[in-house]
Each structure stands twice: as structure tokens, then as C-alpha cells.
Structure 1
Amino acid sequence: MRRWAAVREVPLPGGSVHAVVRVGRTVRRPATPRSGFVRDLLRHFERHGWPGAPRHLGSDEAGRNVLDYVDGHVAWEPVQPEAVHSDASLVRTARLVRRFHDLTAGTALAGDQEVVCHNDLSPKNTVYRPVGGALRPVAFLDWDLAAPGQRIHDVAHVCWQYLGLGGGADVTGAARRMRLICDGYGMADRDALVATVLWWQDRCASGIEAAADAGDPAMVRLRAAGAVGEVRAARRWVAAHRGELERLLG
């Protein structure tokens, strides 16, 4: 275990599940049962020269994972610069996802699945920096939920989270932007995409409920903050417009 000099710890935005702090040019994240897999995944990306994820630097004296700090704008606030939600940023996001999927396809990390999925892609876990004069996504953070999976899992999660699929969304506009994401990724078969969004929403709501019922403090806080109700409301919207979304995606 590498020893790190004591530097002031600064809490980073988020932290609804894990307390994450910045220490100088590093980020400290509590260890989890998935830490070994995440370490191997991030080091795999580093060996291949992919800059779209933090580098894993080891562990500190408290047993926390030490990652390098990725400079840029993370879209935590409800109101964001227009460039964050632009079509160009959506396409670039999809291409970033395709790149790390391709880097893990056929590896031991993916096991018997297609690729390794991030499983929590959202603007809040994305770093944006100026590219060609406008903010564009350059890296993804928070790989704690990464695991072997199917490509469509991450693509559907991008559609849900980056487009805000739910009440108040415009169906035609949402379908157009879902097509942009699929085109950017290079996903021709979109038949199961809306069904996979619904699968994610079911999984998210039931997962928070089950963990909160079991006494997980972070999930208790999320449920108390209304997260389950928000996800279920979003699912009702997607289910109500499923046929139209699938038709427009075709």
C-alpha cells in the first residue's frame, strides 16, 4: 500500500451513496466489494491509453481507493450550459461509450458477456471540457457499479439519463435524440432499446426499495428524498409512450 502525504480533504458533489473527497490532485473513494474489479478495469484502460476514465493509483492508509483527479466540468447542477445537452455532446457521449465497450469486448473482464458496462452513466458522472470551443464530454467517473453486461444496457441508460426520459419530455424530440445516441454508438438493432430503458427503471426503483428495507443508510436517504417515486414516474411515462418511441426509432 502506497503512503500518501496528509492533505486537506474536500468533499466532492454527490456522495449520496459513497463519501468521495478530493485530496490535492487525487480523489479518495471508499473501498467496496467491487474495488478489485474496478482497479483492474481502470488499469486496463490506462494500458490501452484511453483517457476517458480516472487512473487508479492505489490505496491510502484508510483503505480507500486513490484515483487521479480528472479536471473539467461535471454536470451536477440542475441548470447546465446548453452545450452539455447539445446534440453534439450526445453523439460524443455515445462514441465514448462505444470506445470503452470495444476495449473490454472479448477480455477476461467481460467474462461471458459482450463487454464491461459502466451501469451508471449520466451527466452527473461525466466530465466535460472545451473541445473546439464548446463543452464536450471527455471522461466518465464513478465506475463502482461496472460489471460484465450487454452493450444495450449502457446505451439504454444513456438514453434514460442524458435525455431525461420522463414526464414533460417531448416524444418526437426524445426519439430523435435516441436515434442520435444509437447512430453515434453504431447500434443498428434498436428493437429492444425502449424495453431496456424500462428494465433499468424497474431495476433502479426496486433496488433502492430493497436496499432501504434492508437498512442501507444511503438507500434510506435516497428513498426519503423521493428517488423511488421519481424513477417510477419516469417509468410510467416511458411505458405510456413505448409504442410511439419504438415506431419513431425504427
Structure 2
Amino acid sequence: MTSSRILGTVLEEVPLAEGNVTGGVVRVGDTVRRPAGPWTPAVHALLAHLNDVGFPAAPRPLGLDERGREVLTFVPGTTVWPDRFAEVGPRARLEKVGRLIRDLHDAVAGFTPAPDARWHVVIPPEDDGRGEIIAHHDLAPWNLVVDGEAWTFIDWDGAGPGSRLWDLAYAAKAFVPLSADPALQRPDAAARLRVLADAYGLDEEQRRRLAPMLARRSRAMYELLATGTGPWARLWAKGHGEVWQADTAYIARHEADWLTALLA
């Protein structure tokens, strides 16, 4: 058993389910410990800002522990993906996702990073037209923890300069979802995309830019996996590249449907 000491008390470290990229994540009491990186100070400044302005859907940063790991408040609940995706199935729940993402983007709009801030953005964002913010870059069901009506986005390591639409395009792909897999594909995908866009509050110009961006955002993920470097090599070997390639083709093929729904 591995343990940590908090205020003189020795607590067991409980391994948490690892994501596709980050390993070594454990729970210690009411905290989570994760490997830190050069980007950790900037991410913690961002999370502190979100907590200061009252954004409820982000963990609170607690600095580093004696082993140099970052410490965050533990978020109770279960991730939506893969076993609780039905949580975002009903229209009202998908609307909640859209509003939560809009609230996040509005909250980070007032954040000014330190001049020497370092980030860990693995896919360079597109300029979506005057919409630059510090974005999450991985707003997806596997990073949404649900505990009743309390919803929290986790895994902020990849946060950094981005844009509202680039962040939303990725979220739309994951939460609608926009998938070539018959087991995940939905006949009401276009209508669900409209629900998400309405809940977020996109204007007509943003909707026109979002429709073609959906495939480009998906293609960017495929191209990252295709580099075959670091953790992406492991995901490529598991077939994730083929999935993103097929999804990109599906999304591009239906671009007119997405635009029609967004503008209806």
C-alpha cells in the first residue's frame, strides 16, 4: 500500500482510473494527486481564477505535495463516458452541457495568464475569428464527472490558448456524438448539434464557421494520433486512429446537414 501524509495523518493512496494519456493519478483523502509538468503553474492559476469567479464545474488547485505532484480537490461522481452517456441523452441534459461550456468560456475570458505561462496544448487551435481564450481543449464525456446535478470538467493538463469554436467543435463531436460507428451514430445528430449550439448561444456567423470546422477539428485529432509519438503511439496501436479517420470522413460528408440544422 502506498500512502501520503496530510497534517500528520497517513492516508492510503487509491489509484484512480487512468485516462488515455495521463497515468499515475491517485486519490488521497479528499484530494487527487497527479504528475506535474512545466504547464502545472499556469493550469493552477487558471483553475484558481475559475474558482474565484464562481465557476462551479472545475476542481480547485491545492499546489504541489511533498513528491512534487499537483494536488487538486477530489471530485465525487462518475465520468459520463463510457457507462453513463445516457446522462447527456435527453435534450435538457445536452442543453446543460452547452450552457456549462458557455459559462466556462465566459469565465476564462477574464483570465490573464502570467507573461511566462507555459501550456501543454497538443493540437494548435484555429483562429475562429476574434474568439481567442484559454480553452480546455478536451471537453468530452470522458472528462465530465456527474454527481447528481453537480457536473465538473476534469483533466485540465491540456488547457491553453485556443478559441471558443475550436473548443466547442471538439465538444460537439464528443457529446452529440458525431460518429461513424453504427453503435454510436444517432439519426438525430444534426438536431442535437443544433440543441448544443442554441444552448451555448452561437450567433449566425459563428454557426456558419462551426459547420466546416467540425471535420477539421476531428481531422486534427487523427493527425495527432498519426504522429505515433509519446502516448499517441499507444492509442494508434489500439486503433484510435482508424476511428478518428472514419469519424472525420463521416462528419465532412454531412457538413451540409450540420449547417442546415444550425441555421434552421
State the TM bucket, normalised to the shorter chain: 0.7 to 0.9
CA deviation vs aligned residue, 1:4-59 (integer Å, no higher than 9, x gap): 45422222223321112211211111112321211100010121122210000010
Correspondence 1:83 to 2:96: no
Match of 1:233 among 246, 254, 263: 246
CA drift of 1:117 comes to 1.1
For this pair of structures, how many residues does the alignment match? 237
Q: Report the equivalent of 2:16.
A: 12
- Aligned counterpart for 1:69 among listed residues 71, 74, 81: 74
C-alpha distance 151-110 of structure 1, shift in aligned 2 (>3 A): farther
The match for 1:134 is none
Residues 105-154 of structure 1 show CA distances to partners (whole Å, capped at 9, x for unaligned) of: 143239996322110011110011223xxxxx621001111112211112
After superposing the two structures, state which structure 1 stretch, 105-114 or 121-130, moved more. 105-114
Distance in 2 of aligned mates of 1:33 and 1:202: 27
User: Which amino acid in the other structure matches residue 178 of structure 1?
Assistant: L
105-114 or 14-23, which deviates more: 105-114
**Aligned position for 1:41:** 46
Deviation readout 1:187-208 (Å, 9 max, x if unpaired) = 1230121222212212111112
Partner amino acid, structure 2, of 1:124: W
Q: Please say if residues 110 and 149 of structure 1, whose CA atoms lie closer than 8 Å, have aligned partners that are also in contact.
A: no
Identity of aligned residues (%): 36
Any unmatched runs of 5+ in structure 1?
Answer: 132-136
Q: Secondary structure at the match of 2:55?
A: coil
Look up the match of 2:96. Answer: 92
Partner of 2:197: 182
Whole-angstrom CA distance in 2 between matches of 1:46 and 1:106:
12
Contact 2:178 2:189 in 1 (8 A): yes
For 1:177, what is the secondary structure of its paired residue?
Answer: helix
For structure 2, the 5+ residue unaligned runs are: 116-129
Pairwise CA distance, 1:160: 0.2
Q: Name the residue aligned to 1:104.
A: 108
Shift of 1:81: 6.1
Q: 1:165 to 1:39 in 2, by over 3 A?
A: same
Q: 2:148 aligns with which of 106, 130, 138?
A: 130
CA distance in 2, matches of 1:53, 1:221: 28
Partners of 1:21 and 1:28 within 8 A in 2: yes
Q: Secondary structure at the match of 2:112?
A: coil
Q: Is the 8 A contact 2:79 2:142 kept in 1?
A: yes
Partner SS, residue 8 of structure 1: strand
Partner residue of 1:192? 209
Do structure 1's residue 24 and structure 2's residue 29 form an aligned pair? yes
Partners of 2:99 and 2:174 lie apart in 1 by: 16
Cα root mean square deviation, aligned: 2.1
Q: What letter corresponds to residue 167 of structure 2 in structure 1?
A: D
Aligned to 1:208: 225
Deviation at 1:244, TM superposition (A): 2.0
Q: Which amino acid aligns with 1:130?
A: G
1:115 aligns with 2:136: no
Supply the AA of the counterpart residue of 2:225: I
Say whether 1:59 aligns with 2:72.
no
Query: Cα gap change, 1:219/1:138 in structure 2, threshold over 3 Å: closer, same or farther?
Result: same
